[in-house]
C-alpha cells in the first residue's frame, strides 16, 4: 500500500462529508461526499434536478446541509459567518443582476467590493485597476475594457464576470453553467479562456456545473456525476466520464469519446424500424 507524503499533497480547499439536504420534505442530496484540493478543476454533471446547483450552493457557502459536514477554505459551515466566508470565494453566475450601463472595467472592479453596483465614494486601491485590465486581457476582453455592459454579448459578459470573481484573489472559483445561452464561437472562446486562466493560476481550485460534456474545458481534472441527489461517480475525470457511468447517470445509453482533451457524448442511432410507431 502506497502512503502519500503529506508534504506533496495539495492543500484541501473543500471537504464535503456525507451530507444530506432536505428542503420542504424533499431529499435533494443523499450522502454526498467530495474533496477538492488546490489546483483541481471539478465538473458537476447530471440531469435537471440531480442536485448539482444544491451542491454548488453548499460549496459556495450559500446554505447549510441538513446533515453532514461541509468545510470550505478551512472553515466549517455552521461555525462561521457565511457572508465573511463568501468574500473569499469567486462565484460566477451568468444571471448576474446588473442593470446599469457600467464599463467592463468597472464591472470587474466590483469584485473587490463584492457588490453588483459600484459602492458610492469608493476608490479602488492603487494598482487594482491595472490588475483588472490584466485579468480582462487574459480572458480575451482586453479590447473591451471601455465597452458598456448592455452592449456585450452573453459570452463577453461571462468572461467579464470571471475577471470580476478573480479580483478578490479567491482560492476557489465556482462556475454555475457558464456556457448557458452561448453560441458555438462564444462557448469555445469561454472554454479557451478557462484553460488559460487555470494555467496562469495553478493553485486555483474550480468547480463547474453543467449538463453537457461538450461544455467542459480540456483542463478539467475531476468530475462528479449526480443522479437524483446521489453520487454515481466521483474522481479523476478520465475514470468517471466513461460510457458506462455517464449512461447510468443520465439513464440513457450514450457513447463517450475524448479528443484533444475535450469530451463528446453521442447516442446510438435509432433504426427506421425503431423510430416508426408500432401498430
**Domain check: are 272 and 155 in the same one?**
no
**Domain check: are 69 and 179 in the same one?**
yes
User: What is the SS3 assignment for 124-135?
Assistant: CCCCHHHHHHHH
The answer to whether residue 93 sits within a structural domain is no
- pLDDT 10s per residue in the chain (279 long)? 555 556 678 999 999 999 999 999 999 999 999 999 999 999 999 999 899 999 999 999 988 999 999 999 999 998 988 888 888 899 998 889 999 999 999 999 999 998 999 999 999 999 999 999 999 999 999 899 999 999 999 999 999 999 999 999 999 999 999 998 899 999 999 999 999 999 999 999 999 999 899 999 999 999 999 999 999 999 999 999 999 999 999 999 999 999 999 999 998 766 566 556 665
**Domain check: are 180 and 269 in the same one?**
yes
**Domain check: are 178 and 259 in the same one?**
yes
**Domain check: are 78 and 176 in the same one?**
yes
**Domain check: are 40 and 111 in the same one?**
no
Question: Domain total for the chain?
Answer: 2
**Domain check: are 20 and 137 in the same one?**
no
What's the pTM?
0.89
Amino acid at each position: 500500500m502506497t502512503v502519500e507524503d503529506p508534504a506533496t499533497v495539495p492543500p484541501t480547499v473543500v471537504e464535503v462529508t456525507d451530507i444530506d439536504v432536505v428542503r420542504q420534505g424533499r431529499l435533494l442530496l443523499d450522502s454526498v461526499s467530495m474533496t477538492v484540493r488546490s489546483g483541481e478543476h471539478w465538473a458537476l454533471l447530471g440531469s435537471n434536478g440531480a442536485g448539482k446547483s444544491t451542491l454548488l450552493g453548499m460549496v459556495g457557502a450559500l446554505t447549510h446541509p441538513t446533515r453532514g459536514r461541509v468545510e470550505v477554505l478551512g472553515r466549517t459551515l455552521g461555525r462561521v459567518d457565511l457572508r465573511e466566508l463568501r468574500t473569499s470565494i469567486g462565484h460566477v453566475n451568468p444571471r448576474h443582476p446588473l442593470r446599469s450601463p457600467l464599463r467592463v472595467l468597472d464591472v470587474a472592479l466590483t469584485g473587490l467590493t463584492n457588490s453588483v453596483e459600484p459602492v458610492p465614494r469608493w476608490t479602488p486601491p492603487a494598482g487594482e485597476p491595472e490588475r483588472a485590465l490584466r485579468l480582462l486581457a487574459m480572458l480575451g476582453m482586453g479590447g473591451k475594457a471601455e465597452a458598456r455592459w448592455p452592449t456585450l454579448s452573453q459570452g463577453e459578459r461571462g468572461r467579464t464576470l470571471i475577471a470580476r470573481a478573480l479580483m478578490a484573489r479567491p482560492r476557489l472559483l465556482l462556475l454555475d453553467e457558464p456556457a448557458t445561452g452561448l453560441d458555438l464561437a462564444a462557448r469555445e472562446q469561454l472554454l479557451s479562456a478557462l484553460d488559460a486562466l487555470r494555467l496562469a493560476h495553478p493553485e486555483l481550485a474550480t468547480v463547474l456545473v453543467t449538463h453537457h460534456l461538450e461544455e467542459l474545458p480540456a483542463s478539467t481534472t475531476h468530475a462528479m456525476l449526480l443522479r437524483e441527489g446521489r453520487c454515481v461517480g466521483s474522481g479523476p475525470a478520465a475514470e468517471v466520464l466513461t460510457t458506462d457511468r455517464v449512461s447510468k447517470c443520465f439513464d440513457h445509453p450514450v457513447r463517450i469519446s475524448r479528443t484533444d482533451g475535450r469530451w463528446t457524448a453521442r447516442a446510438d442511432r435509432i433504426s427506421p424500424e425503431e423510430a416508426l410507431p408500432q401498430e
